Amino acid sequence: MLSITSFVCLLLLSLPLLVTAQNIHLSSIPHLSPGVFKGALFRQAPFTPTTEVTKALFENWDAKDFIAVDDRVRGGKSQSYLEVDSKKKTARFYGHLDIKTLGNAGFASQATKSDQKIWDLSKYSGIKFTTLEGDNKRYSISFKNTFLNQNPDGSQESALEYKYLFKGRPRKSSYFVKFSDFKPTYRGRVVDNAAPLNTSDIRVVQFQIASGFGQQQGSFSIKFQDIIASSL
């Protein structure tokens, strides 16, 4: 006969199994098929996948939402464009990065231009984005909590930006970047001890290419397919 004590013991022993089963992602265990889980060991513990909540930053790309912020504002000659495909599903960031005029410096960027639009992404932990047809140059995506109007001469004051650098691969590539991995920078330099990005108050989304002190230059091109905030 099963005594109360041994029953309790069994229950306690199986507890860790039940607990882990809740947190396991089937996809993270390639050698066990979901069938194995359902059929035997974990029958008592229903598998509850973490539900991902997402929000697209740009439902449909529109070039009119962006403005060029190139080094011309500091006397350089770089130039960038944003070109949206006919179905509004991709945005191509391209142009020419000049480093001669400013002595190995130089940048080109496209930034959202509305002071009306504010993204509240506080429910999410980071963004996913997909790029296509890159040219192996280094690009960045950045967020700003400050919106600054461009002056009539095209120049713009600098603001703290939170930047993620990546290499634009020729093949379709997807990234998931936590907000905490966006580095606070000011005029291209990392700022120590900066306040973290306020994810409830994002006012600018910006694509940029910079020379990195002469490391890259010339024509550039990359396509963005989507940028999606994710709770994962």
Ligand X SMILES: *[C@@H]1O[C@H](CO)[C@@H](O)[C@H](O)[C@H]1NC(C)=O
Rounded to a whole number of angstroms, the minimum distance from the CB of residue 126 to ligand X is 17
The first and second tokens of residue 133, run together, are: 């047809």
Nearest to 38 by CA among 30, 47, 25, 29: 47
Residue with smaller CB distance to ligand X, 197 or 222: 197
* 198 makes contact with ligand X (CB under 6 A): yes
* 159 makes contact with ligand X (CB under 6 A): no
* 201 makes contact with ligand X (CB under 6 A): yes
* 146 makes contact with ligand X (CB under 6 A): no
Rounded to a whole number of angstroms, the minimum distance from the CB of residue 228 to ligand X is 21
Closest-approach residue to ligand X (CB)? 201
Q: How far apart are CA 67 and CA 82, in angstroms?
A: 9
Nearest to 71 by CA among 50, 98, 37, 103: 98
* Sole window of 66-74, 102-110, 162-170, 195-203 interacting with ligand X (rule: CB under 6 A): 195-203
- Which residue reads 């480093």 in tokens? 99
* 117 makes contact with ligand X (CB under 6 A): no
CA angle, residues 174, 177, 181, in degrees to nearest 5: 150
DSSP 3-state helix, strand, coil percentages of the chain (rounded to 5)?
A: 15, 35, 50
Q: Residue 50 carries which side chain, given as an amino acid letter?
A: T
Q: Is 126 exposed, middle or buried, given 0-12, 13-18 or 19+ CB atoms closer than 10 A?
A: buried
Rounded to a whole number of angstroms, the minimum distance from the CB of residue 122 to ligand X is 8
Total residues in contact with ligand X, by rule CB under 6 A: 3
Q: How far apart are CA 135 and CA 171, in angstroms?
A: 9
* 200 makes contact with ligand X (CB under 6 A): yes
* 160 makes contact with ligand X (CB under 6 A): no
Residue with smaller CB distance to ligand X, 91 or 202: 202
Residue with smaller CB distance to ligand X, 133 or 201: 201
Strand partners, 164: 141
Residue with smaller CB distance to ligand X, 6 or 200: 200
* Sole window of 31-39, 66-74, 136-144, 193-201 interacting with ligand X (rule: CB under 6 A): 193-201
CA R_g for the chain? 24
Report CA-CA distances (Å) from 174 to 191, 215, 227: 27, 24, 10
* 133 makes contact with ligand X (CB under 6 A): no
Rounded to a whole number of angstroms, the minimum distance from the CB of residue 145 to ligand X is 7
Residues forming contacts to ligand X in the complex (CB under 6 A) are 198, 200-201
